[in-house]
Structure 1
Amino acid sequence: TENTVVATSGMIDPEKGTLPIGTAIANTRFYIMGSLYDLSPPGVPGELVIAGKGLARGYWNLPEETDKRFVPDPFYPGERMYRTGDLVKWTEDGELIYLGRIDHQVNIRGFRIELSEIEAQLLTLDSVKEAVVTTVKDAGDQDALTSYVITKNDTDTENLKESLKRTLPEYMVPSWIIKLDQFPMTANGKVDLKALPAPDIEANQTVYEAPRDEVETLLCGIWEDVLGVSQVGIHDHFFFLGGDSIKGIQMASRLTQA
Structure 2
Amino acid sequence: MTRQIHAATVVGALRAVATEHGQVPAILDGADRLDHATFWQQAGQVARRLRSLGVRNGDVVALAADRTAGLLVGLVGVLRSGATVLPLDVTYPRPRLMMMLQDSGARIVVGHGHTVGPFTAEGREAVILAEAVAAEPVPAEDELPDPHPGDGCYLLYTSGSTGGPKAVLMPHAGLANLVRWQARTSGVGPGSRTLQYGAISFDVSLQEIFSTLATGGTLVCIDEEARRNPIRTWELMIATGVERIFLPYVGLQALVMVADDIPVERSALREIIPGGEQLQCTKALRELLLRMPECRVSNHYGPVETHAVTCHPLEADPERWLSLPPIGTPIPGNRVHVLDEAGREMAVGEIGELYVAGDQVSYGYWRRPDLTAERFLPSPDGDGGRMYRTGDLARRRADGSLDFLGRADDQVKIRGFRVELAEVEAAVSDHPEVAACGATVAGDEGIDRFLVAFVLPRPGFVADTVREDLRGRLPGHLVPEVFHVVDALPQLPSGKLDRRGLRLLAERETAADPR
TM, length-normalised to structure 2: 0.34
Superposed CA deviations along residues 67-109 of structure 1, whole A, max 9, x for unmatched, are: 554334466596431123444333456x223243235752222
Matched, 1:28 2:28: no
Contact kept, 8 Å, 1:139 with 1:201, in 2: the verdict is no
Alignment partners' CA distance in 2, 1:157 and 1:200: 17
Q: Which runs of 5+ in 1 are unaligned?
A: 206-258
In the alignment, is residue 182 of structure 1 matched against residue 488 of structure 2? Answer: yes
- Cα separation, partners in 2 of 1:128 and 1:60, compared to 1, 3 Å: farther
Give the corresponding residue for 2:429: 123
Q: Is the 8 A contact 1:32 1:39 kept in 2?
A: yes
Q: 1:27 to 1:129 in 2, by over 3 A?
A: closer
Q: Contact 2:326/2:404 (CA < 8 Å) preserved in 1?
A: no
1:201 Cα deviation from its structure 2 partner: 5.8
What percent of counterpart residues are identical?
31
If the length of structure 1 is used for normalisation, what is the TM-score?
0.62
> What is the match of residue 213 of structure 1?
none
8 Å CA contact 1:9–1:24 kept in 2: the answer is no
> In structure 2, how many angstroms separate the alpha carbons of the residues matched to 1:61 and 1:151?
46
Corresponding residue of 2:469: 163
Say which SS state the counterpart of residue 88 (structure 1) adopts. strand
Of 56, 81, 100, 2:405 maps to: 100
User: 1 CA distance for matches of 2:403 and 2:457?
Assistant: 29
Give per-residue Cα distances to partners, 1:96-136, cap 9 Å, x unaligned.
Answer: 23243235752222212221111111112121111011122
Structure 2 residue 400 is matched with structure 1 residue 90: no
Alpha-carbon spacing, 1:17–1:8, altered in 2? closer, same or farther (3 Å): closer
SS at match of 2:428: helix
Give the 3-state SS of the residue equivalent to 2:466 in structure 1.
helix
CA distance in 2, matches of 1:58, 1:188: 21
Assess, with a 3 A threshold, how the Cα gap between structure 1 residues 20 and 145 changes in structure 2: closer, same or farther.
Answer: closer
Q: Counterpart amino acid of 1:88?
A: A
Q: 3-state DSSP class of the match of 1:161? A: helix
Hey, what does 1:2 align to over in structure 2? Answer: 305
Q: CA deviation at 1:59?
A: 4.1
Aligned to 1:38: 344
Higher helix fraction: Structure 1 or Structure 2?
Answer: 2
Give yes or no for the alignment of 1:51 onto 2:357: yes
2:510 equivalent to 1:200:
yes
Counterpart of 2:407 in structure 1: which amino acid? I
Alpha-carbon distance between aligned partners in 2 of 1:146 and 1:161, rounded to the nearest angstrom: 12
Aligned Cα root-mean-square deviation (Å): 3.8
| Superposition deviation, residue 194 in structure 1 | 2.5
CA deviations on 1:155-210 (whole Å, 9 max, x unpaired) are: 332332222212111111112211111122211112222333223269575xxxxx
**How many positions carry a matched residue from both structures?**
203
Match of 1:149 among 435, 447, 455: 455
Counterpart of 2:230 in structure 1 is none
Letter in 2 for 1:129: A
Amino acid at match of 1:136: A
CA distance in 2, matches of 1:69, 1:138: 31
